[in-house]
């Protein structure tokens, strides 16, 4: 490694450690008996942090004792202790008198559910912003929302990375709403279109251009003129169509299938995918020049399991959406929601609440009204706790080592750590590490 390269890494290291520190806070996720109550955040400022109706006057859960539990900072980490409460304290559904907490742990007191956070974090303790394009208590998602709001009124291309069901289209629509563009928002899922028809769907087709072109069609790009076009699952786009999309971005015009005269368009393009585009470029399945054009503002959307503190607010939103705002949950049913891994993310939660409302008799949702997968699923487990600056330094040391070894290749780092590329991007953002500074020989 050159001296210039080494100095650059040391600068990155110093910048990350100077701006990032381990923080701890408690989130009131929600309540089985009061599912519409808004979540709340309690910063860990002094030890112990008391939990109970005596110290938290806003708590109305009748099943919580006045002095129910406390969280202590100890030499081993943060310890949750039950104070001999009437209804006990459950950690991941198991009754406990004392347990060391890890980041993302879920526990319950009475019918109220909590999420513990202790992690590297820059900025103030999370809070709900009523004016944000998406309300969240997750620092990772809040970072995405903040960046999205800053680029909304620009022409910077936006790439949304995230697994299926994380809310990519919701964020793309929010971007359009904040952009003040006069045209419509148009979303198209590239993966859902027959590959031979992708060009016709996107760029339009002249009558008689092929056997199914019985009439001329504008195409989705021209339909979104002066507005925003979301291309979902762009990683599935055929290579030949990528060439036409590149031309659209370079020349602001499209050529309909079967046409001989290009048409000018004014479209804000937002792309989304759950695939590893770096790998697709390396394999020759995605054009490097198109990727460079699209790779402006890259936003990695966390999975629901990574922002479980938002689950209560989402449950409340879906109850209202399905006209069930008077319904409550049994503790077992709400526990199943809080401890489920949600592999299909917010979309899965929405369908779960919709079906539970339809299957429930009366005003209470029982465990039996939830899908079988939730009734039998094992709880999520968080990583072993790390204390203080060790938390930030542990992430940073490993990432710097792997970024150096792989010369800034995020995909290779993700494979080495057994994590998703989106997760690595979130860690890099949180620790203020720029993979570009690790590329090349200086």
Phi and psi at residue 412, to the nearest 5°: -65, -40
> Which domains are delineated in the chain?
157-296 (3.40.50.300)
- Alpha carbon 419 to its chain's center: 15
353: left (phi over 0), alpha (psi -120 to 50) or beta: alpha
Rounded CA-CA distance 107/169 in Å is 32
Q: For residue 440, count CB atoms less than 10 angstroms from its CB and return exposed for 0-12, middle for 13-18, buried for 19 or more.
A: exposed
Q: Tell me which residue of 300, 318, 306 sits closest to 171, measured CA to CA.
A: 300
String of DSSP letters for 90-135: EETTEEESEEEE-TT-EEEETTEEEEEEEEEE-SSPP---TTSSS-
This prediction's pTM: 0.80
Q: φ, ψ for residue 298 (rounded to 5)?
A: -95, 120
Query: Running DSSP on this structure, what letter comes out for residue 268?
Result: E
Per-residue pLDDT of the chain (442 residues; tens, 9 = 90+): 333 333 333 333 433 444 555 789 999 999 999 999 999 999 999 999 999 999 999 999 999 999 999 999 999 999 999 999 999 999 999 999 999 999 999 999 999 999 999 887 777 788 888 777 788 999 889 989 999 999 999 988 899 998 889 999 999 999 999 999 999 999 988 877 777 777 888 888 776 555 565 566 788 888 999 999 999 999 888 888 888 888 888 888 888 777 778 889 899 999 999 888 888 898 899 999 999 999 889 898 999 999 999 999 999 999 999 999 999 999 999 999 999 999 999 999 999 999 999 999 879 999 999 999 998 866 665 554 444 445 456 667 778 888 888 888 887 787 777 676 777 777 777 677 778 788 765 4
**E strand or H helix at 74, and its extent?**
strand 69-74
Distance CA 442, CA 409 (A): 16
- Contact between 429 and 398 (Cβ < 8 Å): no
pLDDT tens figures, 49-91: 999 999 999 999 999 999 999 999 999 999 999 999 999 999 9
Whether 30 contacts 113, CB under 8 Å? yes
How far is Cα of residue 15 from the mean position of the Cα atoms in its chain?
Answer: 25
Element (H, E) at 89: strand 89-91
């Amino acid at each position: 490694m050159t001296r210039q390269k080494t100095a650059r890494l040391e600068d990155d290291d110093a910048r990350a450690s100077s701006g990032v520190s381990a923080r701890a806070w408690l989130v009131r996720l929600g309540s089985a008996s009061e599912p519409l109550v808004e979540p709340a955040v309690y910063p860990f400022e002094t030890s112990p942090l008391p939990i109970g109706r005596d110290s938290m006057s806003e708590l109305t859960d009748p099943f919580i004792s006045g002095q129910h539990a406390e969280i202590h900072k100890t030499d081993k980490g943060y310890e949750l202790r039950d104070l001999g409460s009437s209804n006990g304290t459950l950690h991941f559904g198991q009754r406990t008198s004392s347990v060391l907490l890890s980041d993302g742990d879920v526990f319950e007191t009475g019918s109220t559910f909590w999420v513990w956070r202790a992690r590297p974090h820059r900025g103030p303790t999370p809070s709900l912003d009523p004016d944000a394009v998406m309300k969240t208590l997750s620092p990772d998602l809040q970072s995405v929302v903040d960046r999205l709001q800053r680029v909304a009124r620009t022409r910077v291309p936006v790439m949304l990375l995230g697994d299926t069901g994380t809310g990519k289209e919701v964020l793309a629509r929010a971007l359009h709403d904040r952009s003040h563009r006069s045209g419509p928002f148009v979303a198209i899922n590239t993966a859902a279109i027959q590959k031979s028809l992708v060009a016709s769907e996107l760029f339009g087709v002249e009558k008689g251009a092929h056997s199914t072109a019985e009439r001329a069609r504008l195409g989705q790009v021209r339909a979104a003129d002066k507005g925003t076009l979301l291309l979902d699952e762009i990683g599935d786009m055929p290579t030949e169509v990528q060439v036409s999309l590149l031309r659209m971005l370079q020349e602001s015009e499209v050529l309909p299938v079967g046409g001989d005269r290009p048409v000018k368009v004014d479209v804000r393009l937002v792309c989304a995918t759950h695939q590893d585009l770096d790998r697709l470029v390396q394999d020759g399945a995605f054009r490097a020049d198109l990727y460079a054009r699209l790779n402006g503002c890259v936003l990695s959307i966390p999975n629901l399991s990574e922002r479980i503190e938002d689950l209560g607010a989402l449950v409340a939103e879906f109850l209202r959406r399905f006209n069930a705002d008077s319904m409550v949950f049994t503790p077992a049913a709400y526990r199943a929601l809080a401890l489920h891994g949600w592999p299909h993310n917010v979309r899965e939660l929405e369908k779960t609440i919709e079906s539970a409302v339809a299957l429930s008799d009366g005003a209470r949702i029982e465990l039996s009204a939830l899908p079988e997968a939730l009734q039998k699923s094992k709880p999520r487990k968080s990583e072993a706790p790390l204390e203080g600056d060790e938390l930030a330094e542990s992430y940073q040391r490993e990432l710097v080592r792997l970024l150096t070894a792989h010369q800034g290749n995020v995909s290779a780092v993700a494979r080495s750590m057994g994590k998703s590329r989106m997760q690595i991007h979130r860690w890099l953002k949180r620790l203020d590490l720029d993979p570009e500074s690790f590329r090349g020989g200086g």
